[in-house]
Amino acid sequence: MKLQTEIPSTQHRELDLYPTEQLIDALIDDQFDAVRAVRLASPQIANAVTQALPRIRDGGRLIYVGAGTSGRLGVLDGVELTPTFSWPNERAIGLLAGGHTAMFTAVEGAEDDAQQGADDLRALNIQIQDVIILLAASGATPYVLGALQAGREAGALTIGIANNADAPITLEADIGITLETGNEIISGSTRLKAGTAQKITLNSFSSALMVQLHKVYGNLMVDVKPTNAKLVRRTINLTMFATGCDEAMAKDTLSQCQYHVKTAIVAILNQSSVLAAQARLLANDDDVRRAIQQKE
C-alpha cells in the first residue's frame, strides 16, 4: 500500500528555487490541510473523548505511544497537562520508541521493534481503566503496533491516530482517527502538516477531556498549577476575572488555599471560608459551578 504521506507532491516541484518569501508562504499555506483534516475527523475525536471519560474518572491513565515526531508530540501533550490542569504526572505517561534519549536524538531502528513496544507498555502494568493513544503518521509503525496489541490484550481503551487511510493502527484500535493530510510539501517530511494535524488533535482531545473533568470554569483555566511567577500572577488574574474582586482580596484568599484558584473562586463568590469552599468542591465532584450553586 502506497502511503500518501510518502508520495512526492505534484505541487511545488521547484521548491528549492523559490525566493525566501515565496518559500515561506508555500510552507505556511500547506499547513491549512492539517486543519481541514482534523475538522473532518471531529466526530471520531469527540467519540474518543466520550469513551475515555468514564475510564479516566475511574482512575485511569493517559498513555501516549509513538516514534519520532509523533512520539514527541505525545510526550509533549502529556507533560503540559500538569501545569495547565494540575493533572498528576503519573497519570500522563509518554512512551517513545528509543526511550528518553529519542526525545532529543534520533535512535535508529527503534521504531521497527514491535516487541519492544509491547514490552514497554506491559511494563506499565496496564489496567482496563487506562486510555492508550497510539500515534503514527504512516499508521504502521511496528513499535506502536506492538504496544497496540499489548493494550488490547489488557482491555485498555486504544485510540489510534494516523495520517493515512486504512492504516493498521486505526483499523485495529478501539477508536480510529484518520487525519488525511495527504502529500507533504517536502516529500515524506511528516513533521510538517501531518505533525500539525496530530498536535491539533491531541490538543483538542486532552483539553476537551480536562474541561469535562471540571478543570475549567466557563473558559477559565481554574486548575492551573502555579509553578512559577508567571503562573502565580495568572492565578490572581483568573480569580479577579471570575469573581470581580480586587487584587488584594484575590491575593489574600489565594494565600489561604495554596493558590488553588477553584477554592478561591468558591470562597469569594459564596462569601465563605476557604475550608467551607473546599468542602463544597469535594461534595460536588470538584465542579466550581455546582459548588457555587449548591444550596445550604
CB 179 within 8 A of CB 37: yes
One digit per residue, pLDDT tens: the chain, 296 residues?
A: 577 777 787 888 899 899 999 999 999 999 999 999 999 999 999 999 999 999 999 999 999 999 999 999 999 999 999 989 999 999 999 999 998 888 998 887 889 899 999 999 999 999 999 999 999 999 999 999 999 999 999 999 999 999 999 999 999 999 999 999 988 888 888 999 999 999 999 999 999 999 999 999 999 999 988 889 999 999 999 999 999 999 999 999 999 999 999 999 999 999 999 999 999 999 999 999 999 987 65
CA pair distance 276, 274, nearest whole angstrom: 5
pTM for this predicted structure: 0.93
CA pair distance 296, 280, nearest whole angstrom: 10
Give the DSSP letter string of the chain. Answer: ---TTTSPPSS-TTGGGS-HHHHHHHHHHHTHHHHHHHHHTHHHHHHHHHHHHHHHHTT--EEEEESHHHHHHHHHHHHHHHHHH---GGGEEEEETT-GGGGTS--TTGGG-HHHHHHHHHTT---TT-EEEEEESSS--HHHHHHHHHHHHHT-EEEEEESSTT-HHHHHSSEEEE----S-SSTT-TTTHHHHHHHHHHHHHHHHHHHHTT--BTTB-TT----SHHHHHHHHHHHHHHH---HHHHHHHHHHTTT-HHHHHHHHHTT--HHHHHHHHHHTTT-HHHHHH---
Neighbours of 239 (CB within 10 A): 28
* CA–CA distances in Å: residue 287 to residues 84, 243, 278, 283: 17, 16, 11, 9
CA pair distance 119, 151, nearest whole angstrom: 11
Q: Is 111 a catalytic residue?
A: yes
Which domains occur in the chain, in start order? Answer: 15-212 (3.40.50.10490), 229-293 (1.10.8.1080)
Q: Which residue among the candidates 6, 80, 172, 180 is catalytic per the annotation?
A: 80
CA triple 140-40-60, angle to 5 deg: 60
CA pair distance 184, 5, nearest whole angstrom: 6
CA pair distance 71, 135, nearest whole angstrom: 7
Chain-centroid distance, C-alpha 226: 20
Specify the length of the chain in residues: 296
Q: Is 80 a catalytic residue?
A: yes
pLDDT of res. 279: 95
CA pair distance 182, 6, nearest whole angstrom: 9
CA pair distance 233, 26, nearest whole angstrom: 39
pLDDT of res. 295: 62
Q: Which residue among the candidates 6, 14, 90, 111 is catalytic per the annotation?
A: 111
Query: Crossing angle of helices 229-243/247-256, nearest 10°?
Result: 110
Query: Which amino acid is it at 128?
Result: I
